[in-house]
Structure 1
Amino acid sequence: MALADAWLSGQLGGVLETGTMERLVAYTHAPFYLVFGRWQLAGELGTAFYGTAIGYVTYAIAKQVTTRRNAVLAAGAVVFWPSIVYRSVVIQREVLVALSMLTTVWVALRLTQPNRLYEHFPEEDVWRTAHWTKRLPATDIALLLVAVGVIYITRKENLAVVGISLVVALALRNRDVPWRFVVVGGLLLPVLAYFTLNFADFVGGSTALTPAGLDRFAHLRARGGSAYLTDLHYRSWLDIALYAPVKIVYFLFSPLPWQVDSLTDLLAGVSGWGLFVATLLSGRGFVLLRAHPEKRATLAAYAISGITAYAIIEMNSGAAFRRRIQFVPIILLLAVVALTSVSFRQRSDQATRESIVSAETESTTTMRRD
């Protein structure tokens, strides 16, 4: 509100004495206060606008791997999904984080288009590294840079997930040139090494990327009545690996039925339980994307790395409810692909059966007439 008032009075800078993240949220919402006035509803409309944009980005992602009809259905499911609807009227950074993360996924999917220039220059192109991004439009690069900038300001630990997704996409883009595939795939090592060595900087503390450090960081988040698995502790990397499946279940689907003790928990639980069904369907949807192996591999790299990383360090169902909206659109997209394929197959089988019955009836009637 203060920023909008300053703009109206002609003052453009030096208004906000806040952190960079809060300043970004203020700048992205101030235009709505400028238009609708000094109401909290104006800021909520701003968040709702960015929340609705998540549906559009989901549509753009889905168009890369499935039909327009499925893309529309996936976008609709995302826009009206309970957790995304709820987060889309609360003035926080979560919607901006999710929108930026999904934008990087969209660009990553476009990156997977193989660079086939070497087919036209078989002797020359092998040595041309400049062609690696030749076919990627400047607008895509600009969007990627903006999205990465927003992620760095709002939740920079997510850059590890973005890095993994982009490296996988680039490696698959160059899959037809073996040496490039190996070189780009090898970029995963420095990406992960940098994150490992600078883990404390990413999470904003002095925690090292060790089992003890992760355990300390996770338990710092296990506060309040929404905390779960508080008796669980990491003493080795084996503990982290063994507990990961359980932690993933809690991260994606909490509050689980035995955690519900209020109406708020029940309403939040409906979203998690619905997501459980969608996750079961998503496996089939992933298989059905066999026509786009490189794109489904990129989606898998994003979802698996992100969900696993968050699950390991998350121990609060309220925070999990907020932060999983970054991955819900991918799960719902795969679930929609699975559901529409079942529906189509049932109709096809029914049509086949009806044609057979019709043929049998026609032949019987003809024989009787004869």
Structure 2
Amino acid sequence: MDKATKQALPVFAVAFCIRIVAAIITTVTNLNPDSTADAVRFENTAALIAQGILKGEPYLLTSGSLKITEFLIPLSSPEIYKLWGTFLAPFWLLPGPSGLYARLGTAFLGAFAIYNVYVLARYYHSHRAGVIATLPMMFYPSIVAVHSTLLREALVLFGITTAARVLLVPSNKRSRLISYVLAGGLLHVALLLRDDNVIVYAAAIATAVTGYAITSGYLSKRTLGIGAALSPIGFVLSLPVIQDGIEFLARTRELRARGRAVYLPDVIPQTVFELAAFSWIGAVYFLYAPFPWMIETMPDLLVGIEGIVSMGFTLAGMWGIRSMIQKNKPVTAGLIVGLVLAVVLYGVGTVNYGTGMRHRQMFLWVIFLFGGIGIAEQIEFKWAFQSENSPDLRSGQISDRE
């Protein structure tokens, strides 16, 4: 076992153990607020599909069914309860506490996503950066709570971060083609479960690919100049599509504007200019709410503290971005574009910080990645059982990278 794997295993082990305990508590008690509503419906649907499998027809006991093409064709928008229920159904074919088995499965996926972020931070900076970047993901109560339920967010996060690791961290054990195919399959699964992220993935990948084309010399300055000159025309031509997207986000806000955790329910952008004006406000609420004036319960307080920590990681991320730009500009640009687009779209479409708390987990890892690198860049740490002369302590770079 190489050094990189030895250092990564404790990160995965701690994250998984925390989630195992949370999954057991969620199974035997009603303490987890995220284990109701959608989670219960997913569980019931999975149990019905498993019973149908035993009778020879998976969707015998459900209303309607899914065709194989709905699993294979991206953006086919299958009914989400049947889709995710189909993924979970095999756990109900096992003897014993099927719900616990399924929660342990989502716990494993959540812990593996944390491992992915560690590997990314370690590769682009150091072991220190990897540990720091994963600490919030390991211990945030809101993230642990979601990863110990039957919600789909753990698999989506696993798909996104594993695809990022496969694409952005080279390996001698697989070819570039295999990496592309594997990443495409992972993003396909993530899109099946959350197809509204397609624009985010496409923009991030397109930015990174364009950056590589520029730095590699495949795109000349003349080509870039022509592209820049034509971009306003492209924007004008795409205005009808953009307006349709704005109307969709407005309808989403109206539908979600209910419940105790609602915020700014009367603010509904209807035009491009209104969207631009509100985008940064919506993004701030999406990433960091609830704020002190919104806190009413103990869970609110815990999530509010998370928001303060996330603000700190965001500020430290400025240093992290500067460090990553020096190592790989296209990757850094792709991550930034994907993050900004995601928080703007979700910030405008989200009007309830309970929903926002679940959805932002898909993208906060990028902030933690940049923030972990930034903190490791600026602050020296002395890890337990590490000598003063350790290379990681002196520089945090060459000795502990993959």
TM-score bucket of the superposed structures, by smaller chain = 0.7 to 0.9
**Residues in 1 aligned to 2:95 and 2:362: alpha-carbon distance in whole angstroms:** 29
* 1:242 correspondence with 2:277: yes
Residue 133 of structure 2 is matched in structure 1 by 74
**Residues in 2 aligned to 1:223 and 1:191: alpha-carbon distance in whole angstroms:** 37
Residue 115 of structure 2 is matched in structure 1 by 56
Residue 119 of structure 1 is matched in structure 2 by none
Matching residue within 261, 267, 271 for 1:232: 267
Q: Secondary structure at the match of 1:209?
A: helix
| Distance of aligned partners of 1:194 and 1:49 in 2 relative to their CA distance in 1, 3 Å threshold | farther
Residue 374 of structure 2 is matched in structure 1 by 338
* 1:179 correspondence with 2:219: yes
Residue 65 of structure 1 is matched in structure 2 by 124
The answer to whether the 8 Å contact 1:59/1:71 transfers is yes
* 1:139 correspondence with 2:178: yes
* 1:221 correspondence with 2:261: no
Q: Secondary structure at the match of 1:225?
A: coil
TM-score when scaled to structure 1?
0.73
**Residues in 2 aligned to 1:57 and 1:270: alpha-carbon distance in whole angstroms:** 25
* 1:166 correspondence with 2:208: no
1:242-281 deviation digits (Å, cap 9, x = unpaired): 2222111110011111111122222222222221222122
Matching residue within 93, 99, 102 for 1:40: 99
Residue 365 of structure 2 is matched in structure 1 by 329
**Residues in 2 aligned to 1:215 and 1:23: alpha-carbon distance in whole angstroms:** 27
**Residues in 1 aligned to 2:382 and 2:147: alpha-carbon distance in whole angstroms:** 36
* 1:154 correspondence with 2:154: no
**Residues in 2 aligned to 1:249 and 1:84: alpha-carbon distance in whole angstroms:** 19
| Distance of aligned partners of 1:5 and 1:216 in 2 relative to their CA distance in 1, 3 Å threshold | closer
**Residues in 2 aligned to 1:148 and 1:37: alpha-carbon distance in whole angstroms:** 32
The root-mean-square deviation of aligned C-alpha atoms, in Å, is: 3.6
Higher relative contact order (CA 8 A, sep 6+): 2
Residue 202 of structure 1 is matched in structure 2 by none
Q: Secondary structure at the match of 2:327?
A: coil
**Residues in 2 aligned to 1:50 and 1:73: alpha-carbon distance in whole angstroms:** 20
Q: Secondary structure at the match of 2:219?
A: helix
Which residue identity does 1:262 align to in structure 2? T
TM superposition shift of 1:239: 1.9
Q: Secondary structure at the match of 1:167?
A: helix
**Residues in 1 aligned to 2:219 and 2:329: alpha-carbon distance in whole angstroms:** 20
Which ranges of 4 or more aligned residues in structure 1 deviate by more than 6 Å? 188-199
Structure 2 gap segments, 5+ residues each:
1-46, 66-77, 389-402
Q: Secondary structure at the match of 1:340?
A: helix
Q: Secondary structure at the match of 2:306?
A: helix
Structure 1 gap segments, 5+ residues each:
114-134, 200-206, 352-370
Which residue identity does 1:55 align to in structure 2? I
Residue 284 of structure 1 is matched in structure 2 by 319
**Residues in 2 aligned to 1:136 and 1:273: alpha-carbon distance in whole angstroms:** 41
Query: What's the % identity of the aligned pairs?
Result: 24
TM superposition shift of 1:337: 1.4
| Distance of aligned partners of 1:5 and 1:220 in 2 relative to their CA distance in 1, 3 Å threshold | closer
TM superposition shift of 1:48: 0.9
Residue 362 of structure 1 is matched in structure 2 by none
Matching residue within 95, 101, 104 for 2:154: 95
Q: How many residues align?
A: 316
* 1:296 correspondence with 2:335: no
